Amino acid sequence: MAAVATSATHGKTEIPAYYQVPETKFELDWADLVTLDLSQFDQPDGKEKLAAQLFDAIHKIGFFYIIGFGLTQEQVDRQFAIGREVFQLPTEEKLKYRADLENGGYNGYKPLGLREVKPGVYDNTEIYNIPKFIPAFERPHPAVINENRQEIEAFARHINDEIVGKLLVLFAIILELPEDFFLKTHRYTEKSDCHLRYMKYHHRSEEQNRILDNVWVKGHTDFGSLTLLFRQPVAALQVRTPEGQWKWVRPYPQSITVNLADSLEFLTNGFLKSSIHRVVAPPPDQAEVDRLGVLYFVRPEDSLELRPVVSGVLERLGYDKTTDGSAVGITAGEWVKARVRKGVAKDKPRSEVAEQEIIRGKAAKYYD
């Protein structure tokens, strides 16, 4: 397990500690999600038991919690503290590191208000994406990132090695494939769009929320294999159930919320479904709070063609009889970059988009 430092060292700017805000006192319609304890992974029959648990989770909703992932809350909160410092930088300083979003580049800074959500109302998110720490992705960063690079890298590599790696093994077990099947297409040393993200949702006025019907980000799927959201106590995330209902995702203590994304759906021809989720205005007792997030996005190697795998499970369940859920002829890198480009397209407000062609006839859908 990678060691993660938790305090500033001599010569670095001291970063104030970050403390999570209180959870909402409102009783919301929470989603019933499975919790996997990854500390059981290396116990006798642990992987098999976790895979059986995960199988149930992904068939119900495509969202689940993990605990026992080898990081303390102090280590997690340290990343929140670093992210907060990034967003407190002057705008002109942050813009020096702007991501090349218009050309499918995701790494670096995404400014506030880049996308029109409804006519005259723009998105309320700032994002800073840090790519994998390999030579192919070396790029300039603000001083607060550079000064804490060793700590950030240890945190990101722990996620990759000790969390993501185990989850990918569980998916292989579910599909009755060799345990290293997905590990071979998610190597840290190879080019892919995996990244650690600091994200800030600025709170909105009552008037803005009214115009938006309280929906900040329409229902959507994520681009890659998995998304990991470190515990976020500001209630705003909702998941869409198979019945089409929206349920709130509770900030479960000491947890990471995980959701499946497009690439796993394509690779399993629709068996592993890319979960649909949205972000809405928080309840009244959190309405004035900016929502800071720390996330990790897992994506296959750029060169991987999103062709369905050959699996006895998929054959038995009939998922080899159609190609509706696949993206044959499209690579993981092409899919991600095309979705990024389309995400900042300025042809019409996002609220007016229900379906959007992404690349070579393959489309993404958006949900109210």
Q: Is residue 24 part of a domain?
A: no
What pLDDT is attached to residue 323?
66
Domain range for 213 is 34-365
pLDDT-derived band at 13 (thresholds 50, 70, 90) equals confident
Is the pLDDT at 1 greater than 60? The verdict is no
The answer to the question of residue 16 being in a domain is no
Average pLDDT, the chain: 94
Whether residue 125 is contained in a domain is answered as: yes
Burial class (CB in 10 A: 0-12, 13-18, 19+), 286: buried
pLDDT reading at 5 higher than 50: no
In the chain, how many domains are there? 1
pLDDT at residue 3 tops 70: no
Query: What pLDDT, on a 0 to 100 scale, did the predictor assign at position 6?
Result: 43
Inform me whether the pLDDT recorded for 83 exceeds 90: yes
Distances (CA, A) of 338 to 51, 297, 305, 332: 32, 16, 15, 10
| Domain of residue 77, CATH code | 2.60.120.330
Token pair listed for 30? 């929470």
83-91's contacts with Cβ under 8 Å and 24+ in sequence apart are 83/128, 83/198, 83/199, 83/200, 83/292, 83/293, 83/294, 84/18, 84/292, 85/15, 85/144, 86/128, 86/142, 86/144, 86/145, 86/198, 87/126, 87/128, 87/198, 87/200, 87/292, 89/142, 89/144
Q: Which amino acid is at 177?
A: L
Q: Is residue 266 scored above 90 in pLDDT? A: yes
CB 81 within 8 A of CB 18: yes
* Per-residue pLDDT, 2: 42
Extract the runs of DSSP E, i.e. beta strands, from the chain: 34-37, 63-67, 108-110, 116-118, 121-122, 125-131, 195-201, 215-220, 226-230, 237-240, 246-248, 256-260, 277-280, 291-298, 305-306, 327-331, 355-359, 362-365
Give the chain's radius of gyration (CA, Å): 20
Q: What is the pLDDT of residue 11?
A: 63
Retrieve residue 189's tokens. 């040393």
Whether 218 is in a domain gets the answer: yes
pLDDT at 8: 42
pLDDT value at residue 335: 96
Contact predicate 124/216, CB 8 Å: yes
- Confidence (pTM): 0.95
Which whole number is the average pLDDT over 268-284?
95
Q: What is the mean pLDDT of residues 163-173?
A: 98
Q: Is residue 83 included in any domain, yes or no?
A: yes
| The pLDDT of residue 4 is above 60 | no
Calculate mean pLDDT across residues 107-119: 95
More confident residue, 352 or 12: 352
Residue 91 lies inside a defined structural domain of this protein = yes
Give the pLDDT confidence score for residue 56 in this predicted structure: 81
For the CA atoms of 225, 231, 233, 236, what is the dihedral angle to 10 degrees? 0
Dump pLDDT digits (tens) for 278-337: 999 999 999 999 999 999 999 999 999 999 999 999 999 999 876 677 788 999 999 999
User: What is the reported pLDDT for 9?
Assistant: 45
Q: Is residue 78 part of a domain?
A: yes
Q: Which phi and psi (to 5°) does residue 78 adopt?
A: -60, -40
Mean pLDDT of 246-258: 96
What pLDDT score does 347 carry?
79
Q: Is residue 19 part of a domain?
A: no
